[in-house]
Amino acid sequence: MIVPLHTILGVSAILFGIGVFGFLARRNIILMFVSVEVMLNAVNISLVGFSQYFQEPHGQVVALFVIAVAAAEAGVGLGLLIAINRNQTGSSVGDLTKLKW
């Protein structure tokens, strides 16, 4: 084992924290999606770390599913963004007040 498990989990936690900060703080929808991708990458790192720790390929298979779901999320989210941009310009969440009561 090259790196102990707690180091891998620490890297994963730092990346996840950065992703959470970006998702909550940014106002641009595209940058919020990118922060979600950062969080998914952090989870993938810990899954691969567990996979190496337990010497099982299952963690890597689950990470593969995470990548598939990330691709689906990007497709639907950016499709929504294009649909929103057809009616109004700007991709800031501050502009999306249609559902506000």
Partner 1 sequence: MTLLTGTFYYLAAASAGSALLAVTRKNPVHSMLWVLALFLHVAGIFLILGAEFLAAVQVIVYAGAILVFYLFVLMLLDLSAEESQSRFGTHWPFAAMVGSSFVILVWITQIERSESIATTTDPSHPLGSVADIGMALFGPFALPFEIASLILLAAIVGAIILARKRTAKK
Length of the chain in terms of residues written: 101
Rounded CA-CA distance 35/45 in Å is 15
Using alpha carbons, list the distances in angstroms from residue 92 to 24, 26, 87.
Answer: 13, 9, 14
Contact pattern from residue 48 through residue 77 relative to partner 1, giving x for each residue in contact according to CB under 8 A and a dash for the rest: xx-xxxxxxxx-xx-xxx-xxxxxxxxxx-
Rule CB under 8 A: is residue 97 a binding residue for partner 1? no
Please check whether residue 8 is in contact with residue 72, taking contact to mean a CB–CB distance below 8 angstroms.
no
Nearer to partner 1, 6 or 100 (CB): 6
Q: Can you tell me which of 1, 98, 100, 101 binds partner 1, judged by CB under 8 A?
A: 1
Give, as ranges, the residues between 76 and 95 that touch partner 1 (CB under 8 A): 76, 78-83, 85-86, 89-94
